[in-house]
Amino acid sequence: MTKPDDPNRVLIFDTTLRDGEQSPGISLNTQEKLEIAQQLARLGVDVIEAGFPITSPGDFEAVQQISRTVEGPVIAGLARTHAADIDAAWGAIKDSPRPRIHTFISTSDIHIRHQLQSTREDVKGQARAAVAHARGYVEDVEFSPMDATRADVEFTAEVCQIAIEEGASTINIPDTVGYTMPLEYTAYLERLYELVPALRDVVLSVHCHDDLGLAVANSFAGLLAGARQVECAINGIGERAGNASLEEIVMLLHTRERDVHLRTGVNTREISRTSRLVSRLTGYPVQPNKAIVGRNAFAHESGIHQDGVLKERTTYEIMDATTVGLEANSIVLGKHSGRHALQQALSELGFQLSGQALNTAFKRFKEIADKKKTLTAMDLEALVTDELREEVAGYQLEWFDVEASSRRPPHAKVGVRAPDGEELTGSFTGDGPVDAIFRAINAATGHDARLREFRVDAVTAGQDALGETSVVLEAGGVTGSGQGVSTDILEAAGRAYVRALSNVVRKREAAARAQSPTDASAAEPVSVP
């Protein structure tokens, strides 16, 4: 990607599907990643870092599908400076109309000495070879000196100069461990500009982690220092404490544009929907007081605040809730709504369903509508996203029976459809009805999975609200997450559990493939910016 003609235009580089998916417990399949990527395109991000193709066959497939399907944004694949990584990244992104290879190597002495067990000269050589190799495939190459904020700035400048000489069009300066502070980051970037004048001819990018809660503040400081790409993730998910939150940095620039004179190309009305989708598919909840997208972000408990907002919204709100898409919940359907009405409502939400997919969604819609008076946009999002998960091969909950009483332990019996189509049954007595269902699923499938986390949330308010459950379980040292939606919490819990179990099985199978002799390089430990 060339440097924008508008000097005040900030490029939004979304790494939800790469750095975000590295969060513990998140295990997205290809269909889920594709769904998120399509929503990111509707959101209007400039670059989607779709994954790290060398790490697993599943990640390669997901990046490849996104490259072939998603239009609009640049599609980037991450690669170490290894030739095999760069080849894999190119193989995955080559079908995109706008492909990018993002390669990286550490420049901090602590990483060079202890992790790479190498030397500064070797790092320079690897950086030169990697960028040149990537440049042989694509014109759009991004280079990152990992752990730059803990590295010697003069040495980092040398490496960045080499990357630019070899054709890198974007230089990203990561605060990999979230260590720096805004004033330090500003000074670091200003010094880099002095040491590498050619840096002004390419896009300077910032990638900040939130270990000290400064990811957005540091990213903003980087933009004020001259950077024009910011790397961020929906809901701020990512390694350890996460990345800079996309919604926060975008709305910061949007709200204060007249003061900072910086703007993005993001369609802010898609922010809330994107946040909900990522939360639902990853199983990572959004904290109530989260800026921009938390349920309390535009709520007012204090009587004084309520009085002020009723008289004039701007007394206590610096943003209009509709700006981030919170008005989408105005869509309402009921049990008498037809197939066309459902299709139209889903289209407004960005879901283009037809044929069998629409028939399946309509059938589930009618089942839910019989139990719930009205379905809002948020209900429809949850329902359709839940149905899309069934398209992926894995275990599926067919039915369950639960006997519960205050006088004896609950007993559950379940029917589970295996990936090969066989119906498996199992029964078990547990500490409660949910525990009994989970243990019965273990008995049916023959897996000794252990529950690590279980959460229940209401999609919307009211006694007839849809319940959304999230499960994280562990089996054989591998963790996996799953989600389920229903007006019946027990059904939602069972759906979530079998999906989490399916994700664990897929991860174990992928790990086994990665350990094969032909995939030896993929089995190496990987650290990323």
The string of pLDDT tens digits covering residues 112-149 is 999 999 999 999 999 999 999 999 999 999 999 999 99
Looking at residue 68, what is its pLDDT? 98
Looking at residue 522, what is its pLDDT? 45
Question: Which has more pLDDT, 80 or 297?
Answer: 80
- Asked if 458 contacts 443 with a C-beta cutoff of 8 angstroms, the reply is no
Instruction: Give the integer Cα–Cα distance in Å for 146 and 239.
Output: 14
Start-to-end Cα distance in the chain: 20
**Collapsed DSSP state (helix, strand, coil) of residue 143:** strand
Instruction: Give the integer Cα–Cα distance in Å for 405 and 383.
Output: 31
- Which of 397, 487, 389 lies closest to 442, judged by CA? 397
Angle at 167 between CA 161 and CA 171, to 5 degrees: 55
Mean pLDDT of 238-267: 97
The conformation of residue 518, written as its DSSP 8-state character, comes to G
For residue 305, pLDDT over 70 is answered with: no
Q: What percent of the chain has pLDDT over 90?
A: 60
Residue whose pair of structure tokens reads 């004033």 in the numeric block: 183
Residue whose pair of structure tokens reads 């252990």 in the numeric block: 450
Instruction: Give the integer Cα–Cα distance in Å for 83 and 130.
Output: 7
Mean pLDDT of 428-451: 94
Cβ neighbourhood burial of 67 (10 Å; 0-12, 13-18, 19+): buried
Looking at residue 248, what is its pLDDT? 98
- Bridge partners of 397? 416
Backbone angles phi, psi at 169, to 5 degrees: -100, -10
For residue 451, pLDDT over 70 is answered with: yes
Instruction: Give the integer Cα–Cα distance in Å for 501 and 471.
Output: 9
Instruction: Give the integer Cα–Cα distance in Å for 38 and 266.
Output: 14
- Which of 199, 220, 195 lies closest to 208, judged by CA? 220
Produce one character per residue of 253-285: b if its CB has 16 or more CB atoms within 10 Å, e if not: bbbeeeeeebebbbebbbbbbbbbbbbbbbbbe
> Poorest-confidence range of 74-83, 243-252, 464-473?
464-473
- Which of 366, 342, 364, 337 lies closest to 354, judged by CA? 342
Instruction: Give the integer Cα–Cα distance in Å for 123 and 110.
Output: 13
Looking at residue 453, what is its pLDDT? 87
Cβ count near 515 (within 10 Å): 11
Looking at residue 368, what is its pLDDT? 77
**At 523, is the pLDDT very low, low, confident or very high (cuts 50, 70, 90)?**
very low
- pLDDT, tens digit (0-9, with 9 covering 90-100), for 456-513: 887 766 666 788 888 888 998 888 888 888 888 899 999 999 989 998 888 888 777 7
Question: In what order do the strands lie in the sheet containing 411-417?
Answer: 396-403, 411-417, 423-429
Overall residue count recorded for the chain in this entry: 529
Average pLDDT of the chain, as a whole number: 88
- H/E stretch holding 429 reads strand 423-429
- Bridge partners of 455? 470
Q: How far is C-alpha 259 from the chain's CA centre?
A: 30
Mean pLDDT of 422-446: 95
Looking at residue 74, what is its pLDDT? 98
Instruction: Give the integer Cα–Cα distance in Å for 326 and 317.
Output: 14
Q: Which residues contact 18 (CB under 8 A, 6 or more apart)?
A: 49, 50, 51, 52, 78, 528
Q: What percent of the chain has pLDDT over 70?
A: 90
Q: What is the DSSP string of 214-267?
A: -HHHHHHHHHHTT--EEEEBGGG--STT-B-BHHHHHHHHHHTHHHH--B----
Two tokens, residue 371: 């139990």
- Asked if 74 contacts 140 with a C-beta cutoff of 8 angstroms, the reply is yes
Instruction: Give the integer Cα–Cα distance in Å for 103 and 142.
Output: 6
Domains and CATH numbers, the chain: 11-282 (3.20.20.70), 331-387 (no CATH), 396-514 (3.30.160.270)
Mean pLDDT of 422-435: 94
**At 308, is the pLDDT very low, low, confident or very high (cuts 50, 70, 90)?**
low
Mean pLDDT of 230-253: 97
Q: For 390-452, where are the alpha helices, taking DSSP H only? A: 433-445
Cβ neighbourhood burial of 156 (10 Å; 0-12, 13-18, 19+): buried
- pLDDT, tens digit (0-9, with 9 covering 90-100), for 261-295: 999 999 999 999 899 899 988 888 888 899 999 87
Instruction: Give the integer Cα–Cα distance in Å for 145 and 125.
Output: 13
**At 202, is the pLDDT very low, low, confident or very high (cuts 50, 70, 90)?**
very high
Q: What is the biggest distance separating any 2 CA atoms in the chain, rounded to whole angstroms?
A: 78
Backbone angles phi, psi at 228, to 5 degrees: -130, 15
Positive or negative, the Cα torsion across 326, 331, 334, 339?
negative
